[in-house]
Amino acid sequence: MLMLVLAFHSATLKGAKEGLAFYLVPDFSKINGSVIVAAMNQAFFTLSIGIGSMAIFGSYIGKERSLMGESVHVIVLDTFVALVAGFIIFPACTTYGIEVDAGPALLFNTMATVFNSMAGGRIWGSLFFLFMVFAAFSTELAVFEDILACVRELTGLNWPKGCLVCGAGIFLLALTTALGYSVFHFQPFADGSAWLDLWDFIVSTNLLPLGALIFSVFCCYKVGWGWDKFVAEANAGKGLKVQNWMKPIFKYFVPICVAALYLYGLATFKWR
């Protein structure tokens, strides 16, 4: 509801027409392999597919609902939120002269300007960034639970001790990003790169597509579940079902596409 209110407000700004045109009118001349790879990596990231987070969420789903049906719900909701976020941010960028390629700072710079210009902006802004905190924590908990489950299974540690070990390790690794532009100055790639770029390369360029590839192979081939066991698990409960005609898509098309995207991403990565 909050996002819809903000989207409506952005649509009333002076630069809304230019911002919406930039957002919605495609420029096919700028679409190339690198753009497609970046888009797919973002899809892997936002849906938590390649690094096991979705598997953690899925482990808490009962047998009442089919996995196919729940997957469609997640995809639709995630896409809806992403589209509405664009309706909020891009009209504000063109109205207040903020560069649309400002990166992660775009969210905070743009939204702060929007809230300062709207009635009751302090209240709406407080709610917005509070929800952002909740969203960030939900993502982090999924990632941490994935790491914690793996460490506990490998070491036999109980939950409290496992949390302490994982928390300490993650804290130390996170310091490289928090202090990567000052104390721990490090340029892994081109001039101006930092620890954050290294971690992004490891996760976005490697772990996410490779994880998705492993999932697809595990579900469809006998080295893992195999197709029959996968279908039985995915179709348990009410909702959309995996159909037999989908087998070539899951078994051949998906792994080949993911592998091609991964190799293309490595080949076009700007190492220097």
Written as tens digits, the pLDDT of the chain (272 aa) is 778 888 888 888 888 888 899 889 988 888 888 888 888 878 887 777 767 677 777 777 778 888 888 888 888 988 898 888 888 888 888 887 777 766 666 677 777 777 777 777 788 778 888 887 887 777 777 778 878 888 998 999 998 999 999 999 989 988 988 888 888 888 888 787 888 888 888 888 888 888 889 888 998 998 888 999 999 988 988 889 999 999 999 999 999 999 998 999 888 887 76
Q: What is the reported pLDDT for 50?
A: 67
Residue count of the chain? 272
CA distances from 93 to 128, 152, 219 (A): 18, 46, 43
Q: How far apart are CA 234 and CA 5, in angstroms?
A: 37
Q: What is the reported pLDDT for 105?
A: 63
Q: What is the reported pLDDT for 145?
A: 80
Domain parsing of the chain, residue ranges: 2-24+32-267
Q: Which residues of 182-201 are buried (b: 16+ CB within 10 A; e: fewer)?
A: eeeeeeeeeeebbbebbbeb
Residue 135, judged by CB atoms within 10 A of its CB (0-12, 13-18, 19+), counts as exposed
Q: How far apart are CA 89 and CA 105, in angstroms?
A: 12
The whole model's pTM is what? 0.77
Distance between the two ends of the chain, CA-based, in angstroms? 44
For tokens 């729940």, name the residue. 70
Q: How far apart are CA 56 and CA 5, in angstroms?
A: 32
3-class SS shares of the chain: helix, strand, coil, % to 5: 75, 0, 25
